[in-house]
Structures are given as C-alpha cells and as structure tokens.
Structure 1
Amino acid sequence: MSDCQLYLISPLDVGGDFPQRLERAVQAGPVAAFQFRVKDIDQHEAARLAEPLQAICAAHEVAFVVNDDVSLAKRLGADGVHLGQGDGDVREARERLGREVQIGVTCHASRHLALEAGEAGADYVAFGAFFPSQTKESEHRPELSLLEWWSEMVEIPSVAIGGITPDNCAPLIEAGADFLAVSHAVWSGDEVAAVEAFAAKLR
C-alpha cells in the first residue's frame, strides 16, 4: 500500500503573497497535488492567477488540478481536473482533456457514486466531509468503514476531505485514504508548521 500524501486545496483568494505561501508549503512536506479553486472570476483572470502557482507546482513535481472547470483545465494544460457531482461527466471531460489528465470526482459518502465514477474512468474519488469543514458546507458524513472498504476492494485511489487537521487525521490514514485534502488547516495559519505537522502523522 502506498503512503498517504497531502492534497492541498487553495483558499479562494490566491492573489497577493499566496504564490510564496504555496512555495513554502510544498517544500515543507509530502504534497502530491494542489487544487486551484477560485469562484466568480472570469477565465482570463483565473488563468492569470493560476500561472505562477502552476509554475511552482511544476518545479516541485506537484500535480496542478483545476476545480470544477474543464475548459479552464484545458486552457491551462493542467495536470488534472476535479469534478463535483454537478460539474459534468467524467467521460466528456476525458474526451476534452485526453488520457494523461487526472480526473477526480466528489463522491460524498456514497459507494455507488464512487463505483460509477470509477467505471466512467475517474483517476481518483473523494469522500467527505469527514469532519465539519471551514471551507465548504457538507451534509455528508462518511464513516471510516467506507475508506476501509474502498481501499480493500478498489484499485482507484481515494481522497479524504473535510475539516481534516493534523490532530484528527490519523484514523483516516489508518483506514486507507491515499490522500488527505486540506485547505483551512494549512492556510489559516503558518503553512509550513501545518504541513510539517501533517507530515509527521503521514510517516
């Protein structure tokens, strides 16, 4: 079984000194992926904000994943796209983006949605929210047994998401999550200390 790694999700504000913060975070520990998640801005502005972040990810071999927006992912030549349940079809995204791009799907607390996503060709599935989240409201609360079942039965990697901190992540790692998706726990304070605290639990 592969080691669990961090999957950083951006705060909604990625301007200002955020590129420097991202660089410090990805240097501090085992970060596998970074999800670019911005709302209510046009593609041109999104592309401008993404450019320095994408370069940092490339320099540190961190996958750059666009949240919710297949056309932006295509425009940027992103490494991946993450689709919520209302954000379009995995097969259509695959047709537009090609075979190399990683496609992830939010599956809440549902085995059924996750198996469907896998059959459609998703590269990973995300389950959550495991804990109350500061980033996004979710009424879904999966059990740890879902992660255990998935890691035993299915080859496709799983991402655990939702209110994950260094203090509460150990059971998720033990249950077989391949990635921990974190946002608030890293960006709400000292990103280096937070990533190092996660790294200590991931070892």
Structure 2
Amino acid sequence: MTDCQLYLISPLDVSGDFPQRLERAIEAGPGLVTAFQFRVKGLDQHEAARLAAPLQAICAAHDVAFIVNDDVALAKRLGADGVHLGQGDGEPRDAREELGREAQIGVTCHASKHFAMEAGEAGADYVAFGAFFDSTTKASEHRPELEILEWWSNLFEIPCVAIGGITPANCQPLVEAGADFLAVSGAIWNGDEVAAVKAFAEQIAAA
C-alpha cells in the first residue's frame, strides 16, 4: 500500500511567509500532498477569508483539496473544496446540504469505530482517527490502536486519515495498517517543510 498521501494541516498562524512555505511543501512531493486543511482559531470570518485567499489559490493551482476546519459557513463563503467536522461541529448531512454534492466532508472519529460507522452512514467522504502519537498541535486523550486502521480499510471504501503527532520516523506502521492519508502539521511546519515532505515520501514509499 504505497498510495498513502499527505494531508497538510495549517499552523494556527498562516500570515507572513506561510503561503510560500505551503507552496514549497506541496511542490516538494509531487502527487503526495493532496489535501490542505485551513485551521485557524478565533478570527472573524472576514480576516479568515483574507488569510485563506492566497492559500486557496496555491491549492487550486496544484490540484490540492482546500478543506476548512470546523466552520461550514466559512467553507461556504470561500467556496472551499470541503469541511472537516469535529464531533461537536454538526452533522455531515447538514454540511452536505450547505456545501453541495461535490464537497469533501471529513469527520473526526477519535478512537471510535462507532463514530466512524455513523459518519460513513451520514455521508462523510473520509473519517479521521487519532491521535496516534503525542501531538504538540492539539491535545487529545484519544489513543486508537493501529488495528482500527486495518479494520476500517478492510471493511469500508471510504478513505481513512491518521492524525496526531505523526512524523517521518513513526509513520510507516500507519501506512502499513491501511491509512489512506497521514494528516500532518507540526512535523512539516516546525522545521524545513521541503525536507520534511521528502522524508515522508521516502518512508511512505518504503512501507
């Protein structure tokens, strides 16, 4: 299974030179980075939209899905490719009605098979399990076993995303267990994004 891809999650600060960093990261692994999640907190919609615009343009130019975290209204305003919902962020069905048939809707399922099956039945386009490792990006008390990725990928067609503290050094077992996407943030943005993407590419290819 070497068709695992990278799903980049933005740092909370996407100002300054971040658009250039995003473009470098996408270009460092042609075909490897296929989705980007815009995850900012505590900004009004106008400011969020202003920051999103250059990032959305970069994603569009490279055929990378632009996904908005948690905020269906912002996703609709931006004409984003989709939205990622936490367990408290509303129902996939409602998001689908707001955003249309083509929207990519993902749901955080933590370590729960039940949440994942519910999300699939409600029309989610992907489910996310995690955190698999300690993450500096987001605290999580949920620690799924690798087995949940194997279980999901053997039974369901809907892609699954592994999230939480994933680095090039620890990602191989997740790929081998059947993760379709690795959602990564700190491992990319806390250092040299080009070197990080290339390191992920090597490890995924070797898995």
Instruction: Tell me the TM-score normalised to structure 1 length.
Output: 0.99
| Contact 1:3 1:178 (C-alpha < 8 Å) held by counterparts | yes
Structure 1 residue aligned with 2:121:
119
Structure 2 residue aligned with 1:133:
135
Tell me the secondary structure at the aligned position of residue 110 of structure 2: coil
Q: CA deviation at 1:172?
A: 0.1
Structure 2 residue aligned with 1:50:
52
Tell me the secondary structure at the aligned position of residue 22 of structure 1: helix
Q: CA deviation at 1:152?
A: 0.2
Report the aligned-residue RMSD: 0.7
1:73 alignment partner, one of 63, 70, 75: 75
> Is 1:174–2:173 an aligned residue pair?
no
Q: CA deviation at 1:67?
A: 0.1
Deviations 1:4-47 (A, max 9, x none): 00000000000000000000000011101000000000000000
Q: CA deviation at 1:2?
A: 6.9
| Contact 2:127 2:159 (C-alpha < 8 Å) held by counterparts | yes
Deviations 1:160-185 (A, max 9, x none): 00000000000000000000000000
Structure 2 residue aligned with 1:143:
145
1:180-195 alignment, distance < 5 Å: 180-195=182-197
Q: CA deviation at 1:202?
A: 1.7
Moved over 2 A (4+): none
Give % identity. Answer: 80
The count of residues paired between Structure 1 and Structure 2 equals 203
Q: CA deviation at 1:154?
A: 0.7
| Contact 1:123 1:157 (C-alpha < 8 Å) held by counterparts | yes
Q: CA deviation at 1:77?
A: 0.4
CA distance in 2 between partners of 1:14 and 1:199 (Å): 24
CA distance in 2 between partners of 1:172 and 1:146 (Å): 10
Question: Structure 2: where are the runs of 5+ without partners?
Answer: none
Structure 2 residue aligned with 1:109:
111
CA distance in 2 between partners of 1:190 and 1:116 (Å): 38
| Contact 1:85 1:107 (C-alpha < 8 Å) held by counterparts | yes
Structure 2 residue aligned with 1:15:
15
| Contact 1:7 1:32 (C-alpha < 8 Å) held by counterparts | yes
Equivalent position amino acid for 2:189 in 1: W
Q: CA deviation at 1:201?
A: 1.3
| Contact 1:104 1:122 (C-alpha < 8 Å) held by counterparts | yes
Tell me the secondary structure at the aligned position of residue 107 of structure 1: strand
Question: Structure 1: where are the runs of 5+ without partners?
Answer: none
CA distance in 1 between partners of 2:201 and 2:75 (Å): 29
Equivalent position amino acid for 2:19 in 1: P
Structure 1 residue aligned with 2:27:
27
2:154 alignment partner, one of 152, 155, 161: 152
| Contact 2:2 2:175 (C-alpha < 8 Å) held by counterparts | no
Structure 2 residue aligned with 1:163:
165
